[in-house]
């Protein structure tokens, strides 16, 4: 049994929230529930600890790592720098096919916002970010951003539900797509950074209001 792909179902379960923050991760249970060998489970837990999704303590075993609001804000701020770089690289590399894919993704996001389907719009938001990342062709940024994003997936719905945020988000994504499609790296980087710093501020505000 290969240990590397076995990491994925466990990672997905943590990211989706099927395994809640601070949940104990018992090797025997994981082996049974995910049809993995004990060796594959151990390897997966090491990888997920490196990704910041799991914490392990001597004699206490492994747990799903709890990511608090303050850390979530910091992670989104760090993403702003990295995804700004990715947007700039995407703008430098953009071709007609990539431009069409971005425009279709933005169109879907706009329609879902207009229809008030905020959960689906949040998914379309994530898909747009992933597409910009793909089009950047920047392997290191891709790896770092995907690790950071996996740590904060459970926070993404909080931002889309903030009053006024859906309309603002759509305007920000429009600016990102227009700059990338136009092949303007500096504008694309700024638009992406501005967008994610606004997301971070929304997270900060929602924390203070609770």
User: Mind listing the pLDDT tens digit for each residue in 94-132?
Assistant: 999 999 999 999 999 999 999 999 989 989 999 999 999
Residue 68 carries which DSSP code? -
* Angstrom distance (rounded) from CA 87 to CA 93: 10
Q: Which of 34, 64, 94 is the last residue of a domain?
A: 64
Q: Which of 64, 94, 113 is the last residue of a domain?
A: 64
Range of the domain at 86: 69-209
* Angstrom distance (rounded) from CA 136 to CA 91: 8
Together in a domain, 60 and 83: no
* Angstrom distance (rounded) from CA 72 to CA 78: 10
pLDDT at 80: 97
Cα angle 146, 7, 45 (rounded to 5 degrees) comes to 100
Q: Which residue has the higher pLDDT, 124 or 3?
A: 124
pLDDT at 178: 98
Together in a domain, 76 and 56: no
Average pLDDT, the chain: 89
CATH code of the domain covering residue 164: 1.20.120.530
- Which residue carries 């759509």 as its tokens? 170
**Average pLDDT of 174-194?**
98
Residue 32 has pLDDT above 50, yes or no: yes
Q: Which residue has the higher pLDDT, 198 or 22?
A: 198
pLDDT at 85: 98
Residue 3 has pLDDT above 80, yes or no: no
Task: Count the domains in the chain.
Answer: 2
Cα diameter, the chain: 56
pLDDT-derived band at 157, boundaries 50, 70, 90: low
Together in a domain, 44 and 144: no
């Amino acid at each position: 049994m290969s240990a590397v792909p076995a990491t994925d179902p466990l990672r997905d379960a943590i990211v989706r929230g099927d395994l809640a923050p601070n949940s104990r991760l018992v090797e025997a249970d994981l082996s049974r529930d995910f049809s993995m060998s004990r060796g594959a489970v151990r390897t997966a837990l090491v990888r997920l600890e490196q990704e910041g999704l799991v914490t392990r303590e001597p004699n206490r075993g492994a747990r799903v790592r709890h990511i608090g609001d303050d850390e979530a804000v910091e992670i989104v701020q760090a993403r702003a720098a990295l995804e700004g770089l990715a947007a700039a690289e995407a703008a430098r590399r953009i071709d007609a096919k990539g431009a069409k894919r971005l425009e279709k993704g933005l169109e879907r996001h706009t329609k879902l916002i207009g229809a008030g389907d905020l959960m689906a719009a949040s998914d379309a938001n994530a898909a747009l970010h992933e597409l910009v990342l793909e089009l950047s062709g920047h392997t290191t940024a891709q790896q770092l951003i995907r690790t950071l994003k996996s740590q904060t997936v459970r926070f993404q719905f909080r931002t889309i539900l903030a009053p006024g945020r859906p309309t603002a988000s759509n305007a920000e994504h429009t600016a990102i797509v227009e700059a990338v499609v136009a092949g303007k790296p500096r504008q694309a980087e700024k638009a992406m950074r501005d967008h994610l710093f606004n997301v971070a501020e929304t997270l900060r505000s929602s924390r203070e209001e609770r």
